Amino acid sequence: MVAARAESFSTHRALVVEDNEHVAHMLEFILERSAYEVTVAPNGRDAKAAIENIEPFDVVLLDLLLPYVSGYQLITEIRTSPSWQHVPIVVISGKVLEADIVRALNLGASDYVTKPFRPEELLARLRRVVSDNERLLKSR
């Protein structure tokens, strides 16, 4: 019985790309409490390096306004990377204009959450995009 529980419990890996230290820590706390392994990239340059050099994560949480490389550029980078292109991207941004949201979604973001965000809603959205992606990958 215990072995069955252990098999059904899986940890997901999340890359959080957020330059605001307070928001990054809050996201890290929320995700770790929900059994995510979290890596934080505090700027676009570090996130780009992770995309180029690290095995893909299960989900990326991405701010748009970042130092060095913008979130929009990172969406494009992820969607054109053969090994990362399937990874769900959830944008978490203070940019609330429809044009910004549409631009991110058109570039390939899986979902868009505006700041301030509600933790339980964010987790529900993450569960959905990760689950949908896992189903898609299994059907291939």
- Token pair listed for 111: 């979902």
Domain limits, the chain: 10-139
Nearest to 69 by CA among 92, 100, 41: 41
pLDDT digits 0-9 by tens, 120-133: 999 999 999 999 99
Q: Are 42 and 21 in contact (CB under 8 A)?
A: yes
Pick the CATH number of 10-139 from 3.40.50.2300, 3.40.50.1100, 3.40.50.720, 3.90.700.10: 3.40.50.2300
Tell me the pLDDT tens digit for each residue of 47-69.
999 999 999 999 999 999 999 99
Structure confidence at residue 49 (pLDDT): 97
Q: What percent of the chain has pLDDT over 90?
A: 89
Whether pLDDT at 9 is above 70: no
Task: Give residue 10's pLDDT.
Answer: 60
Rg of the chain over all Cα atoms, to the nearest angstrom? 15
Which single residue is written with the structure tokens 């959450």? Answer: 113
Lowest mean per-residue pLDDT among 1-5, 96-100, 122-126: 1-5
What's the pTM? 0.90
pLDDT for 7 beyond 50: no
